[in-house]
Amino acid sequence: MALNISAWSIRNPLPSIVFSIILLALGWISFTKLAVTRLPSADIPVISVAIAQFGAAPAELESQVTKTVEDGVSGVEGVRHISSSITDGLSVTTIQFALETNTDRALNDIKDAVTRVRANLPQNVNEPLIQRVDVIGLPIVTYAAISPGKTPEQLSYFVDDVVKRALQGVRGVAQVERIGGVEREILVSLDPDRLQAAGLTAVNVSQSLRGTNVDLAGGRAEIGKNDQAIRTLAGAKTLNDLAGTMIPLFGGGEIRLDDLGTVTDTI
């Protein structure tokens, strides 16, 4: 005689109730431990090589860095596609392998290939940052910021100074990054006639600014019963502070930076 599960459950309700409670408990536990990600976890064999060179123009990076890296990694076994993106001071090359390729092996092969061409890169580039592309690390939410009443510089500064700080304070947010826009810059335009009259060059002024406009660690000291960190703060906090920086003269004495030219903020 065939077992009638419905009839048996009606005659014996306790096992059915216990089984349902167990299923509900397991479902709730699984739900609370479920990770929130934009994409499922997947081992995709894609490697990126990022190389920074301070002050280098995109055309310079392309000829001296990007092409050298692309030529070096093109011979690695399993490479299917190579693409590069270049911005001011940064070259990023993305290498895509066949899906059946082991990602760890691909990462090591790319590291070896970049090491072989490292001597052909400019000496002043930073050490190449080589890492796998993790789809889990992609942004889960992307917002666009538009303000007709602000310049690109003002909008970029507002996003960094207000929006980014507010989002970073939200519980559970690990990283907030602005993509696009412009970086805030302080422009120092030197007058050649004033430089010549002061016996200085642009290099002298630049070196003086680098040497004086810095914050340094001063070690630690015991103040009262507490161990406190000491810092020497010499960096300019405002545009007027930077404009008033004293530049030493070779014959003795000093001259203000804004007496040698103009200091303007891009914001």
Backbone angles phi, psi at 218, to 5 degrees: -110, 15
pLDDT in tens, 30-41: 888 877 666 666
3-state secondary structure of 50: strand
Does residue 79 contact residue 91 with C-beta atoms inside 8 Å?
no
Which domains, from first to last, does the chain contain? Answer: 46-137 (3.30.70.1430), 139-183 (no CATH), 186-265 (3.30.2090.10)
**73 burial class (0-12, 13-18, 19+ CB within 10 angstroms)?**
buried
Q: Which residue has the tokens 């000496």?
A: 123
Determine the pLDDT at residue 216.
47
pTM of the model: 0.47
Give the ranges where the chain is alpha helix by DSSP (H). Answer: 5-11, 13-32, 58-61, 67-73, 103-117, 152-158, 164-168, 192-198, 202-212, 239-243
pLDDT in tens, 106-164: 999 999 999 999 989 988 888 999 998 876 666 778 888 888 888 887 888 888 889 99
Determine the pLDDT at residue 72.
93
Does residue 95 contact residue 46 with C-beta atoms inside 8 Å?
yes
Report how far residue 24's alpha carbon sits from residue 10's, in angstroms, rounded to the nearest whole number.
Answer: 20
pLDDT in tens, 219-240: 555 655 665 555 555 566 677 8
